[in-house]
Amino acid sequence: MASLPWARLDADIYAHDKIMALLTERAGHRAFTLYICALAWSVGQSTDGFVPASALGMLHGSPAAAALLVKHQLWEPQGTEGWRIHNFADRQQTRATTEMIRKARREAGRKGGLSTQSQRRE
């Protein structure tokens, strides 16, 4: 991988109205943990906010926690396949953008290497 992926997390996430409402639920803290883990996982795996149902356990989640995220409009159901993190692309770098940046860096590195080779010949 050319660069370390980073998930963007607002420093005031604890005060967001949806998060505050989620945390009033009995299992809200578990759902919040799932939300954060899924956000980081999605960025790292370049899924653009899609969380497959098969990943719930790995992300420290459960169907009940996922249901709370849907209830509080943090996740959007995608049939039986999984969920999409609400507004993911508004706050996170998408796969297409990441690939564009990596391509530009590779090209700049290649050009830099060619420049260094021509300087050695002089």
Provide the pLDDT confidence category of residue 49 given band limits of 50, 70 and 90: very high
Tens digits of per-residue pLDDT, 75-114?
Answer: 999 999 999 999 999 988 777 767 777 787 777 777 776 6
CB-neighbour burial class of residue 117 (10 A; exposed 0-12, middle 13-18, buried 19+): exposed
What does the pLDDT read at residue 13?
96
Range 9-14, long-range pairs (CB < 8 A, 24+ positions): 9/36, 9/39, 10/91
Question: Would you say the C-alpha torsion 8, 30, 50, 76 has a positive or negative sign?
Answer: negative
pTM of the model as a whole: 0.79
Tens digits of per-residue pLDDT, 54-68?
Answer: 999 999 999 999 999
Domain boundaries, the chain: 13-91, 94-122
Question: Would you say the C-alpha torsion 53, 54, 59, 62 has a positive or negative sign?
Answer: positive
